[in-house]
Structure 1
Amino acid sequence: MPSVADPGNATTPDPTPPADHPDPGPSAFQRWLDDRIPAPSAVLPGTGSAATEPENPADPAGMWNKIQSSPTGDPFFDDSPADIAKYAPGDVIESRDVSWPGVPMVFLTVLTPVQKAIQVKFRTTDSAGAPSFGTATLLLPFTPWKGPGSRPVLLNAPPINALNRRCTPGYVFSHGYDLTSGNGNDFVPSPTMWAASQNYAVVIPDHEGPLMAYAEPTVAGHIMLDTVRAIRHLMPDQFGESRFAMTGYSGGAIASYAGAMLAPEYAPELAPNLVGAAMGGLPSDYESFAKTFDGTYASGLMLTVTLALAREHPEILTRMNHLAQWAATSPLKDVCSSTMADVGIFVPYAALANMSDPLHTEFADTLFRKLSLKGKKAGMPIYVYNGLHDPWMPVANAEKFYAEQCALGVPATKSIVGGEHILGYFDGFLGSTQWLGERLSGAPVRNACEVAPRPDAAPRHSDSNSAPSGVPRTGNPSASPGR
């Protein structure tokens, strides 16, 4: 079984004030469902619609154990050391050479020749602040680095979007591809292809963490940052002074976004090494997404994400009815992304909850706050791109995030490209990789922010780089140089 922190550690009370929506009890339909569908034998008494008595809340531990990813059989991915608390975040627990079958698998999945594949297992921190572990795969190119300084490193966060550890890039690189695993869901062209062509090193983190908590931003951000720490510790002579940039699209954008947002508070010592984060098709507003697509063609994906989040936030489990409990403990808990979107389409949250209106409750408001990184300031320059006609990740959300970061003083660049969600990736690839190349080469940051002055701000003295009044600034040659 997974070796992870006690799920009780993930139930720390949220410090924010109560929301405006009291939690309702189950509807008549939900009670009818629970009366006709018995609870799975693995679920403790007091769950489903019975879990509404505040003086005797259900203990989710039995259910929590049953919803975990099935073991891979490889202790590197399955087991946490008993003494993990003695390690500091980013400390290397274990490393291994997986050039076979890793090098052929990299070529088969993203058409990229590399010389060596090394996997590293390191200490990280889960969403509740408890010790956990992460894994990542370092890919080294054939040609020695002859540029200035240390070899730059790109963290590529592919959209893993899965519930089983066999679906991660790390497992596939070390064990090969089979019908029960995925390929890490990287695209072609891939940032890995681009980085290798520039003679950069590439690191591919398994950013969903050991619980496969798909879309949990704190877990993903911590793993991205601890990956940087681990690579610097693993090969200090080669990467101790390297520039690191990160990138991701869609599900992978959650990781690059969270890494950028959490860097100042979680890994401030990395500031000189973290030169930029690119993110495209970013799901930055979980609340809006859930309420917009509840019960639609996208509901299968949302329900899968909810199951994944319950691994880090087990309080979700006591809000499930019996039907949801059966689904969460079934083979669905091990799906890869190729099948998850087809599971539960057009099924609303209310059909699987024990609250009549589950998305408009105090509990839902509290959970959305826990999952939100809104208001944080990125600890590095950012590049935001989005498809103009993306129905999943509306362009308005990308514009809003970009404007918020500009207002906080972050050197930011945005690119609104043609296409919907998939075409948006391809249309934005060249722009994002060009920007990443500038950051990794140490070129000055081109701050493309267009921020209107705050009403309470003092008037600015004009200078040679200022635009005339009423004309937005589209560049800033005096912006601080890239690291």
Structure 2
Amino acid sequence: MKRLRAGTLAFLAIAPLLIGQAAAEPPVPPGLPFAAPVSPSLTNVNGAILPGIQQWIDQVIPPPILPAPRPAPPEETTDMAPGLAALRAAVLPAPVGDPMFDMWPANLADLAPGTVIETRDITASAAPLVVVPIRQAVLFKYRTTDAHDRPSFATATLVIPATGSPMPGARPVLVNNLPIDALGRRCTPGHTLAHGLSFESALTDFVPPTTHLAALRGYAVLIPDHEGPLMAYAEPYVAGHAVLDAVRAVRGWRADEFGASRFAMTGYSGGAIATHGAVKLIESYAPDLAPSLAGAALGGVPADFEILARSMNGNLASGVFMAAVFGIARERPELLARMNHLAQWVATSPMKDQCVSVFALPGALLLPIDIAANIPDPLRSALAHDIYEVTRMAGRASATPLYIYQGEQEFWIPAEGARNLYREQCALGVTAVYRSVPGEHVIAAGLGYPEAVFWLDERLRGVPAVSEC
């Protein structure tokens, strides 16, 4: 019951982050009275909350008392107003007590993207979880880039099987972009592999058994913690940079073993956000990697947040969607300025460190997300459209072949977004394949998985991809 109450508050807290208005837009005047009693259905015909609701919340609930913001990392300069800077600092993830994940290196600006900062052998804790025989598991900390092209860092785990490479030459590597649907660092696969199973460990770290199957095949497996140190869930630039720099880190760490390796990547749902970001950033951010990237398979693709704003509002998926946009707000704090006081209270509470098993619960309330914004109709605001545009990454061609699959009966992440991505990439000249899979999100994940794995295996074995555009 306590968790349910916490989840309810989390829903209200994260909602306004979804898409508030731009700071340059004038706020709604405070003190709007209710013209009539509010019915249980708070929306008008366009799905917008009556503006008086949000204003009334700010009148009766005071803002939280925020501590003074901690000094920003040396690479991060900001011109945020003091109040917004304090709020932004308060919503960032709490430390987990492991410097590998918590400590911000002081010399990041002096390092090239992909430079290895620190490594840790975690074979003892990771081997029982991988199950199949492995030679070594290594946790990397490396330099990467945030959503605004500023130096940052990320972590990733490399699993090296006990068997030799299945083919002559350098051992191929599968980049397994897991669906890290999480706001706290304890929820990452890197933390689980380094510290063992916990309540925060995700079932999707192990099901489907992509890491296990690849290791059995003799491939090394690279598992990036692609949300970065701010746990910017669903931010595609952060995730894309982290994935590409993880590949750079492995290639440079043991150049004699992995410098000439062939890499392929995969991701489903939240992992597809990272894969989508990575393939669209190869050409501009990591052209040096293009010759070694053999292909990318992505399914259950949340490629267009504007579509998700229609399909995930006021239903069982609302909690997950709001958490994702809260993650984006950690990198794009203009979203934080559109939270009402209730939202600020909960976004600065322990809910900011929860995994999907907790923050998904508020979806059971079936409330529209607008209820925690400080403006009317936030889903159609100017800032909303800015966020839709930037996260769509439109017009960027993948520099590696693509295999895209999607459930035809998807109702939370409609197939429209994946089909649009396929058409876009075909028009840009990318070698691509699209598979429509029966079922919704979970069923499609299982039915689409075997062919996606077979396609990846061919890419890692050096078989050229064939386009179906």
Shorter chain as denominator, the TM-score bin is 0.7 to 0.9
Q: CA deviation at 1:194?
A: 2.1
Partner residue of 1:373 out of 380, 393, 400: 393
Kept in 1, the 8 Å contact 2:182–2:355? The answer is: yes
Kept in 1, the 8 Å contact 2:311–2:412? The answer is: no
Partner residue of 1:74 out of 76, 86, 98: 98
Kept in 1, the 8 Å contact 2:130–2:212? The answer is: no
Kept in 2, the 8 Å contact 1:300–1:347? The answer is: no
Higher mean Cα deviation, 251-260 or 347-356? 347-356
**1:351-395 deviation per Cα after TM superposition (whole angstroms, max 9, x unaligned):** 111111111111211222222211110010000001111112212
Name 1:131's counterpart in structure 2: 151
1:310-325 alignment, distance < 5 Å = 310-325=329-344
User: How far apart, in 2, do the equivalents of 1:439 and 1:332 lie?
Assistant: 41
After TM superposition, the score normalised by the length of structure 2 is 0.85
In the alignment, is residue 168 of structure 1 matched against residue 155 of structure 2?
no
1:18-33 alignment, distance < 5 Å = 25=28, 27-33=51-57
Seen in structure 2, the aligned counterparts of structure 1 residues 396 and 78 have a Cα distance that, compared at 3 Å, is: same
Partner residue of 2:240 out of 210, 214, 221: 221
Name 1:6's counterpart in structure 2: none
Q: CA deviation at 1:96?
A: 1.1
User: How far apart, in 2, do the equivalents of 1:303 and 1:402 lie?
Assistant: 26
Instruction: Give 1:299's aligned amino acid.
Output: S
Name 2:120's counterpart in structure 1: 96
1:222-237 alignment, distance < 5 Å = 222-237=241-256
Q: CA deviation at 1:59?
A: 3.5
Partner residue of 1:260 out of 265, 279, 285: 279
User: How far apart, in 2, do the equivalents of 1:293 and 1:346 lie?
Assistant: 10
4+ aligned runs moved over 6 Å, structure 1: none
Kept in 1, the 8 Å contact 2:307–2:417? The answer is: no
Partner residue of 2:66 out of 22, 28, 42: 42
Name 2:208's counterpart in structure 1: 189
Q: CA deviation at 1:22?
A: 6.0
**1:204-229 deviation per Cα after TM superposition (whole angstroms, max 9, x unaligned):** 00011111110000000001100000
Higher mean Cα deviation, 58-67 or 408-417? 58-67
Name 1:474's counterpart in structure 2: none
Name 1:158's counterpart in structure 2: 178
Name 1:59's counterpart in structure 2: 83
User: How far apart, in 1, do the equivalents of 2:313 and 2:416 lie?
Assistant: 20
Q: CA deviation at 1:313?
A: 0.8
Instruction: Give 1:379's aligned amino acid.
Output: A
**1:288-315 deviation per Cα after TM superposition (whole angstroms, max 9, x unaligned):** 2113322222211122112211111111
Gaps of 5+ in 2: 1-20, 30-50, 69-79
**1:169-213 deviation per Cα after TM superposition (whole angstroms, max 9, x unaligned):** 00011111122x213623533221221121000010001111111
Seen in structure 2, the aligned counterparts of structure 1 residues 32 and 39 have a Cα distance that, compared at 3 Å, is: same
Kept in 2, the 8 Å contact 1:169–1:184? The answer is: no
Q: CA deviation at 1:75?
A: 0.1
User: How far apart, in 2, do the equivalents of 1:216 and 1:263 lie?
Assistant: 16
Aligned length: 415
User: How far apart, in 1, do the equivalents of 2:258 and 2:293 lie?
Assistant: 12
In the alignment, is residue 141 of structure 1 matched against residue 174 of structure 2?
no
Instruction: Give 1:237's aligned amino acid.
Output: D
Q: CA deviation at 1:43?
A: 7.4
Q: CA deviation at 1:286?
A: 0.3
Higher mean Cα deviation, 359-368 or 218-227? 359-368
Partner residue of 1:327 out of 329, 346, 354: 346
After TM superposition, the score normalised by the length of structure 1 is 0.83
Name 2:402's counterpart in structure 1: 382
Instruction: Give 2:118's aligned amino acid.
Output: E
Name 1:10's counterpart in structure 2: none
Q: CA deviation at 1:431?
A: 0.6
**1:72-101 deviation per Cα after TM superposition (whole angstroms, max 9, x unaligned):** 100000012111111110000011100111
Q: CA deviation at 1:261?
A: 0.7
**Identity across aligned pairs (percent)?**
47
Greater percentage in helix: 2
Greater RCO, CA 8 A, separation 6+: 2
Name 2:261's counterpart in structure 1: 242
Higher mean Cα deviation, 245-254 or 22-31? 22-31
Name 2:381's counterpart in structure 1: 361
Q: CA deviation at 1:147?
A: 1.4
